[in-house]
Amino acid sequence: MTFRLSFHKLAATVLASAALSGPLMAQDNNQNDTHNLYLQQCAACHGPDRLGGMGPALLPENLGRLKKSEAEKVIREGRPATQMLGYENTLNDQQIANLTDYIYQPPSHELTWGEREIRDSRIVNHPHGSLPDEPVFEVDDLMNLFLVVEIGDHHVTLLDGDKMEPIHRFPSRFALHGGPKYGPEGRYVYFGSRDGWITKYDIYNLEVVAEVRAGINMRNIAVSADGQYVMAANYLPHTLVLFDADNLEMLDFIPVENDAGDSSRVSAVYTAPPRDSFIAALKDIPEAWEITVEDEQARVRRMKSDTLLDDFFFDPGYDHLIGAARDGKHGIVMSLDSGETVAELPLPGMPHLGSGITWEYEGRRVMATPHFRAGAISIIDMDTWEVIKTLKTDGPGFFMRSHENSRYAWADVFFGPNADKVHIIDKQTLEIVKTLQPEPGKVAAHVEFDRHGEKLLLSIWDDDGAIIVYDADTLEEEKRIPMNKPSGKYNVWNKINYEEGTSH
């Protein structure tokens, strides 16, 4: 509080004296002046290079999801209940517009985030093994805990999945991205943030134990099946980074490029448990990588495809990778053993394979995926790789979820006028049997089941939102727990056992 006030007072004084020099300020729209204005007003929190500090990074890649007009509004009015105060009384309209342009432009010199920066960023609060092994709270079943990510004010809630009651709420890094990942015992969880921070959290002790910044703009992280390693996938710089899971010490730093030396962003990294490996999806070169760790070093195996791939799904045995082609019109099936493309799938409308799920249907395994650009769900036979059904929905969806013990699969409508609706699909008839509209006018999205498949949680994706508990069988609402824009929910048991109805 004191810092905020005094900082802004100081900034105002600096500005007032600058304003005295008159005409110079009036023509203040050249790059250099804006750069200096940024250094005076913003750098203390957002970093001199815009890499972030107490506030988030302000670089074009990182701001990708924030509309320019919204950024301008934030600069003008601030964000309520945060350190980001508004500048409407300190800066004039032109200055605010210039600063907005400035933060959406690439920096004048290339930013590096290499091995040294990563090592220097590491913070170890509690070295591995130094905290007690008993949970500091009481629940019946440690395997039925949930974490709920609240993106509205960057917090995480730990929830008892038997009683469906919050146990603890703690702040996260700015803009978590890609879903937290549990270690195999379900005690530690690793969060990744948009700006590249990996946070290791001890659920038993409710403490952040270690943090490290793996990149400038990160997509997601994966934890190896044995819990020994954490891998980070970055957009900026073009790297994959391997860490020891105990204390987040960096083990290997992998620039991502093809044989010709063209580099690529990494869309995502996944764990392939039966293969003891990681699989990385590359955004700018038509390859997928399988990475194994030997003597704490990453070994990369390249699998080439004919087309750029965006979004991945794996069959339960991790024999095949199903990737969405960048053209948004089809998918390919690649054998992970041979690296060959073995089938093509007609999947128009940008499938969101990352949230696909599988189940048994008439003695065979099927997978289902929503689409980003079409009001449809494709259901695919995983032996013949044929689309056996296309379900028409009320609009493009984002997430699908089910549970081995449940008859139903849930699919949200995430985009368009029906974004407040959720479809429930009978997994044996492949028909939509019910459509819910839990809170008219507010996006309803992302379902996660409890460990037993008996209850499930649905998010009302709004600052003034909630999670809703449903009975998975009767489909009746049981209760609402208010939350600040709850996005993903992550059940310990389902995630560490790679339950078929949830993404990994």
The C-alpha atoms of residue 267 and residue 396 are separated, in whole angstroms, by 21
Q: In the complex, what is the shortest distance from the CB of residue 191 to ligand HEC, in angstroms, rounded to a whole number?
A: 16
Q: In the complex, what is the shortest distance from the CB of residue 1 to ligand HEC, in angstroms, rounded to a whole number?
A: 11
Q: In the complex, what is the shortest distance from the CB of residue 125 to ligand HEC, in angstroms, rounded to a whole number?
A: 21
Q: How many residues does the chain have?
A: 504
Name residues whose C-beta falls within 8 Å of residue 162's C-beta, 6 or more positions apart in sequence: 139, 140, 141, 144, 450
Closest C-alpha among 358, 461, 438 to residue 400: 358
Cβ pair 492, 498 in contact under 8 A: no
The C-alpha atoms of residue 373 and residue 349 are separated, in whole angstroms, by 5
Q: In the complex, what is the shortest distance from the CB of residue 464 to ligand HEC, in angstroms, rounded to a whole number?
A: 16
Q: What is the dihedral of CA 209, 210, 216, 220, to 10 degrees?
A: -60
Q: In the complex, what is the shortest distance from the CB of residue 9 to ligand HEC, in angstroms, rounded to a whole number?
A: 12
Nearer to ligand HEC, 44 or 136 (CB): 44
Cβ pair 231, 181 in contact under 8 A: no
Q: In the complex, what is the shortest distance from the CB of residue 244 to ligand HEC, in angstroms, rounded to a whole number?
A: 30
Other C-beta atoms lying within 10 Å of the C-beta of residue 308: 19
Name residue 153's amino acid: D
The C-alpha atoms of residue 409 and residue 403 are separated, in whole angstroms, by 8
Q: In the complex, what is the shortest distance from the CB of residue 267 to ligand HEC, in angstroms, rounded to a whole number?
A: 20
Q: In the complex, what is the shortest distance from the CB of residue 5 to ligand HEC, in angstroms, rounded to a whole number?
A: 10
Nearer to ligand HEC, 42 or 376 (CB): 42
Residues forming contacts to ligand HEC in the complex (CB under 6 A) are: 4, 7, 41-42, 44-46, 54-56, 58, 63, 66, 71, 74-75, 79, 82-84, 87, 99, 103, 154, 174
Nearer to ligand HEC, 79 or 434 (CB): 79
Q: In the complex, what is the shortest distance from the CB of residue 54 to ligand HEC, in angstroms, rounded to a whole number?
A: 6
Nearer to ligand HEC, 2 or 30 (CB): 2
Nearer to ligand HEC, 45 or 391 (CB): 45
Other C-beta atoms lying within 10 Å of the C-beta of residue 500: 16
Cβ pair 287, 280 in contact under 8 A: no
Nearer to ligand HEC, 15 or 468 (CB): 15
Cβ pair 124, 247 in contact under 8 A: yes
* Cα dist from 324 to 263, 310, 371, whole Å: 20, 5, 11
The C-alpha atoms of residue 238 and residue 219 are separated, in whole angstroms, by 11
Q: What is the dihedral of CA 41, 56, 463, 151, to 10 degrees?
A: -170
